[in-house]
Structure formats: structure tokens, C-alpha cells
Structure 1
Amino acid sequence: MVVDGFGSGKSLGAAAARGNVDAVRRMLQDHRLQPDTLNEFGKTALQVMMMGCPGVASVLLDHGADPNVQDRCGVTPAHDAAPHRIPDTLRVLVDHGASVNVPDHSGAPAPLHIAIREGHGDVVEYLAPLSDLGHRDGRGADALDVARDTRAPEMVELLERLMPARSL
């Protein structure tokens, strides 16, 4: 297979989106593609990968993919991984240096805020110790405010337990 230009990004991105670890590895090793090669939409394989496939993330990151790459809106792979119920891909990203405190270009939401809105307690529990819990989104809401806004008492309770003391 010979790929060049956006074709290489398209091929790598397609394999990543399908969760095909072997094809991603082969393209990076045998065809010497750069892991941050852009596809025709200006996205890297890490940005379009199947989020439920931490193996793809590991291969891309092990080959030098940027874990903090942002799309034109400022969305990172951590933002994309945050709404998923299983935090395995998010863990791989963080283990390879992904920041969980990068807001998108509008100033929000941080990955923690996304997980709170989705109601994924396991992801919130993982992200909270790594996150700036006082980060305020575009509306001025911090993590606890977001939880209260979602009217999810279990999320509020979880965050109150994880947050340092503050006037509630």
C-alpha cells in the first residue's frame, strides 16, 4: 500500500476509527506514517479513533502522537473520551501526557464537566483528582455547579466528597 498526503491520514484515521490496532501499527511501522498525519478533514488518527479501543490510542501514542492535539474548536482527545462510560481510553491518554484541564476554544467545557453532564461517576471519580475542580466554564460554572445544574444528587455527593473544603 502506498499512501501520501491526505491519503495517508485518511487511511490511518480510517483504521483508527474502526479500532483496527494491527492496521494502525502496520501503517506506523511498515509504512512509516507519522502518527499526527492529518486526514482530509484536518484531524489526526487520535482525534478520530474509536474511543472504546484503548489499544489504538496506545499504539498511536507509543509512536509519538500528540495527546493534547486540538481540533479547530479546541477539542482534545480527552474531551472526546470523557463522555464514554468506560475511562480506559482516557487513562491511556493521561498516562501519555494528556492534560485534562484544557478547555476548548470557547473556554469550556473541561473533560470533567463533560463526564459530569453525562452522569458517568466512574469517569468523574477518575478525572476529579487530576482536574482543576475550580475551573469555570463559559457560563462561570465550576464542577460542583455543573453537577447541581444536572440535578444529579449522586454526582453532587461524589464531587463534594472529592473536592477540598469550600463554602457550599
Structure 2
Amino acid sequence: MSMPTNNEYRAPDTVEDSTVEPRRTTSPVLLTLLAFAVTAGGLIWWSQSRAPAEAPVATVPGAVIGDAAPAAPAGERAATNRERAERVATRPAPISRDARPLATNTEPKYPASMLRAGVGGTVVVLAEVDANGNPIEVRVVERSGERDLDRAALTAVRQWRFEPAMRNGKAVATSVKVPVDFTPI
């Protein structure tokens, strides 16, 4: 058998000589990526083509048609939407603060024996305060050095009321350290 030249066609001698090209398939990964790209493009197009929602128009009952004001032009509506968005953006953040004793709380009763002796000091009390401002548990965290002063401070703080702690505008239970000073006169 002779070698065919570039312009000659040679018929296959046998079935084994003929080459059958394998069937080409598309990778499932490529199909998934294509589907994702088409979906993402559609979502982007859809989100950018949506017009901003306009506020509903309020009507006055019993208004005469001739007295109705003309509709605001589109530019004015956009300006009012911007103003509304700016008002929302400039709203103060919800209040957050720690619990604190009310100013109306009574002073702790100075033990007479300590007052006569001229003994003073500061007691730091830790008060667990509920969301209503009531002390739940009270304990001394820094002692004054005098047991009578520590007891007087605990007794006073148990009877106090507090402004509750605020987190995101809501009252919450928390703990607060309260210094109680005993100064002899």
C-alpha cells in the first residue's frame, strides 16, 4: 500500500482502520459555573432595574377634586426620599448605659458608735440589679476596715432603687459597684 499524498483520499481497508472520534461531553463543573454566572447576572440586572418604591399618597376624606394639589414631580419625590433616608440615618442610636442609684435614695445610717469614735471609711458594694431597678443581691467587694460600717452600707444599698442598665434601648439586669462613704463630722 502506498502512502497517500495530501490531496488524495484513501478509503479504509478494514473497519479497524477507520477511526471513530469519541463523543464529546461537557463537564458538569463547567455547566454548574455557567448556570451560576447566568443566575448572578440575572440577579444583578433585576436588582438594578427595580425602581425605588414610592411612599403611598395620603388622601383627605371629602376633598374636592378641584382643590387637590397637583402631583409632585419625580425630582421632588426623589428629594423627599433622600430627606427621609437622611432622617433615618441621623436618628440617635438606641440608649445604652449602666445601672445607677436614684438620687432619691436615703443616705446610709451612720453607726452611732463609729460616729462617736470619729471612725470613717468607704465601703464599695456590688449590687446585682434586675431590669426593674431593684437590687437582687448585695455584697461588699471592698471593705472599710470596720464591720459596722460595712453592715450599714449593705443595709442601705438593699433598700435603694436604681435606674436599670439599658442595652439597645431596653432595660436589662446587671451589676453595679456603688461606693458608700462614711465621713465623721
TM-score range, shorter chain: under 0.3
Which protein, 1 or 2, shows the higher relative CO under an 8 Å CA cutoff with sep ≥ 6?
A: 2
Please give the TM-score of this superposition, normalised by the length of structure 2. Answer: 0.15
The structure where helix makes up a greater share of residues is 1
The structure where strand makes up a greater share of residues is 2
